[in-house]
Amino acid sequence: MSNKLDRRKKYTRMVLKESLMKRLQEKPISSITIKEICELADINRSTFYSHYSDLYDLLYQMEDEILEDISQTMVSCSYTEDEEAIQMTTRLLEYLAENREICQTLFSEHGDPTFQKKVMMFAREYVLKTPPIDNNSTDRETSEYLSLYIANGSIYVIQHWLNNGLKQSPEEMAELIIKLGMKGLSSFQ
Per-residue pLDDT reduced to its tens digit, 124-170? 666 555 544 454 545 777 877 877 788 788 888 988 999 899 999 99
| All CATH 1.10.357.10 domain ranges in the chain, comma separated | 59-188
**What average pLDDT does the chain have?**
83
Confidence of residue 82 (pLDDT cuts 50, 70, 90): low
Q: In CATH, what class is 59-188?
A: mainly alpha
Q: What is the mean pLDDT of residues 74-86?
A: 65
* CB-based contact 68:57 (threshold 8 Å): no
- Give the pLDDT confidence score for residue 138 in this predicted structure: 56
| All CATH 1.10.10 domain ranges in the chain, comma separated | 2-52
- Give the pLDDT confidence score for residue 36 in this predicted structure: 97
Q: What is the mean pLDDT of residues 94-109?
A: 89
Distances (CA, A) of 164 to 37, 100, 170: 28, 11, 13
Topology of domain 2-52, CATH: Arc Repressor Mutant, subunit A (1.10.10)
Of 163, 138, 122, 160, nearest to 176 by C-alpha is 160
Q: Enter the DSSP assignment of 139.
A: S
Higher local confidence (pLDDT), 181 or 173: 173
CA distance 170 to 86: 10
Higher local confidence (pLDDT), 85 or 31: 31
* CB-based contact 122:154 (threshold 8 Å): no
CA distance 79 to 91: 13
CA distance 124 to 161: 19
The stretches of 25-112 forming alpha helices (DSSP H) are 34-41, 45-51, 55-75, 82-98, 100-106
Spatial neighbors of 137 by CB under 8 A, at least 6 apart, are: 143, 146
